[in-house]
Amino acid sequence: MKLVLDRIAHRVGAEPYLHPLDLALHPGALTVLLGATRAGKTTLLRIMAGLDAPTRGRVLVDDVDVTGRPVRERDIAMVYQQFINYPSLTVADNIAAPLRRRSVRLPDREIEVRVREIATRLRIDGLLDRLPAQLSGGQQQRVALARALAKDAPLVLLDEPLVNLDYKLREELRDALTRLFATGSSTVVYATTDPTEALLLGGYTAVMDEGALLQYGPTAEVFHRPASVRVARAFSDPPMNLLPARMASGTLQLPGDVRWPVPMAGADMHVASTSGDLSSCTLGIRASALRLTSRVGDVTVRGTVALADIAGSDTFVHVHTAMGPLIAQLPGVHDFALGAPIALHVDPTRALLFDSAGLLHYAPATRAQ
């Protein structure tokens, strides 16, 4: 299904919820709506669904204007962050409910086959006779997802569906979902606040911030080449280290009197702009670009450890430095005492530079694949 939002804007009272934006979703693909809480993701989803009519602009489905057409006249599926099921219906009846609606009424045998198939793919086929209250949170959300996906709607909208689950359940269910979406039969929009989740889901990403759509494109491209400081800030976890810088005689001056060599444009550089004003620019260093081991040409930053957050496979080290607070992402488990001295090394060609207007000047080229 082709969904186009044409100059959509939404305000409630005097407060703008969405600034005017255009968005043409890639048909049959997964689009991640990424942004912090209150960035406007839910408002946009509700407009896509037809639960709300935008104050301005048009919603086009397959080139037909459907603005203001109520949600029950559109063929969509929606999943919320709360686990919403019919409490008095069994799992099987919950999943079958949208298939039994008068407008789509399928033969009972076919409904049974469809229910069993989707339940198997979401691994709840052993629970079909239970009531939602007898299930764990993860199982309840699987049922809600199965109900949304059973009717094979051309547009599937998911509003932070995994946010209320423990991280292990989240990992498993996310895997199951991406496999289901990979068939390409539906256009899927998935709202999340978690940049890592966007990367795991892949597809396309639309980055939102304070009611504005900042950038839309293939997920990896948006991540590696954020168009602006705002996108970089919204689409990085741990947050990208953003340092105020000043261009002076071919090198960048960073806080704490650190000199940062500006790399030559080359095959390993993606140059977004050659013109921008660099008098008060912003240098972006990814947490994963900082290392404990030094290599030739590195810039070295010394500081003290504020906290080592151990996240299983990675350790996020918060460091106080003369340049300001930095976060480094180190693979594996590293235990640092609070206040311990630390030296971090970074290859200057792996940094991003944003000009005085906050727009991308250059970024490292993405890996060879």
Q: Tell me which residues touch another protein (CB under 8 A).
A: 52-53, 68, 70, 136-137, 166-168, 171-172, 196, 199-200, 202, 220, 223-224, 236, 286-288, 306-314, 316, 318, 329, 331-333, 335, 338, 366-369
Minimal distance in Å, beta carbon 341 to another protein?
A: 17
Instruction: Give me the least distance between CB of 342 and another protein, in Å please.
Output: 15
| DSSP-H helix ranges across 58-97 | 91-96
DSSP string, 104-133: T---HHHHHHHHHHHHHHTT-GGGTTS-GG
Q: Which of 221, 212, 230 is nearest to 359 (CA)?
A: 230
Based on C-alpha coordinates, what's the Rg of the chain? 24
Query: How far apart, in whole angstroms, are the C-alpha atoms of residue 198 and residue 187?
Result: 16
Least distance from C-beta 334 to another protein, angstroms? 8
- Closest contact distance (angstroms) between CB of 147 and another protein is 23
- Min dist CB 250 to another protein, Å, is 26
Please say which residue, 108 or 175, places its beta carbon nearer to another protein: 175
> Cα separation of 333 and 297, whole Å?
27
Q: How far is the CB of 291 from another protein (least distance, A)?
A: 10
Closest CA to 243 of 226, 231, 260, 227: 260
Q: Closer to another protein at the Cβ: 333 or 357?
A: 333
Residues 6+ apart with CB under 8 A from 275: none
Which of 77/327 has CB closer to another protein? 327
- What phi and psi, each to the nearest 5 degrees, are found at residue 357? -85, 0
Which CB atom, from 288 or from 356, has the smaller least distance to another protein?
288
From the list 116, 129, 117, 158, the residue with the least C-alpha distance to 141 is: 158
Q: Which is nearer to another protein, 68 or 105 (CB)?
A: 68
CA distance 187 to 181: 9
- If the CB atoms of residues 92 and 140 are measured against another protein, the closer one turns out to be 140
Type of residue numbered 309: D
Nearer to another protein among residue 202 and residue 217 (C-beta) = 202
Query: CB 199 → another protein: shortest distance, Å?
Result: 5
All residues at 6 or more sequence positions from 141 whose CB lies less than 8 Å from its CB, including other chains: 79, 83, 161, 162, 164, 165, 173
